Amino acid sequence: MKVSQIASGLSPLPVQFPDCCLSLSTTLLGTLTQLLPERPKFTLSVGSGSGLLEALLSHHDASRSVEGVEVSSNVNRYIDEEDMHVAGGAWDLNARAQQASALMFVYPREPRLVSRYIETYGSEIGNLEQIVWLGPKADWADYETCFRNSHYSEVLFLGDEDGLAPYETGVIARRHI
């Protein structure tokens, strides 16, 4: 199914899709595209999986560019080939993050990988302005420490009013100066 067909079937209320861990809604797409950087800046989604969320975000607002990185390019079904990057393994960092203005982690599996991206690409002088974390509310406690002592400890929480399912949360962590 094409991204445009999936997008036209979305509603303001979150719905689960087989190709995406995160529940999706038009409300969520609107919320995220307002927060993500505009072109020529871009967001790098680490662990993008099928790329459905990333492609929907770019489709929802063409002034936003969301690229993906995954261990295997075979799982990508929706991100354009030129915007898809491959990591050497589950613990490998992708150097494309060095140019990204935002990183996005959707249902990440390992807090240490998030910390490594922050430590490697999140210096005061780098391009990285914000980090988006989306996942189960129950998992946030495991990830909060990744941000607490970093340059990205200024956080904004997203919830059901922003188009997430009641059991999910989103965190926009901005670089503080």
How would DSSP label each residue in the chain?
--HHHHHHT--SS-EEETTEEEEE-HHHHHHHHHHSPBTTS-EEEET-TT-HHHHHHHHH-TTB-EEEEES-GGG-SSS-GGGEEE-SSTTPPPGGGGT-SEEEEES-S-HHHHHHHHHHH--TTSS--EEEEEEEGGGHHHHHHHHHTSTT-EEEEE-GGGT--TTEEEEEEEPP-
Q: Which domains does the chain have, with CATH numbers?
A: 3-174 (3.40.50.150)
Q: What percent of the chain has pLDDT over 70?
A: 99
Q: Is the pLDDT of residue 177 over 70?
A: no
Model's pTM, two decimal places?
0.95
pLDDT at 125: 72
Q: What is the mean pLDDT of the chain?
A: 95
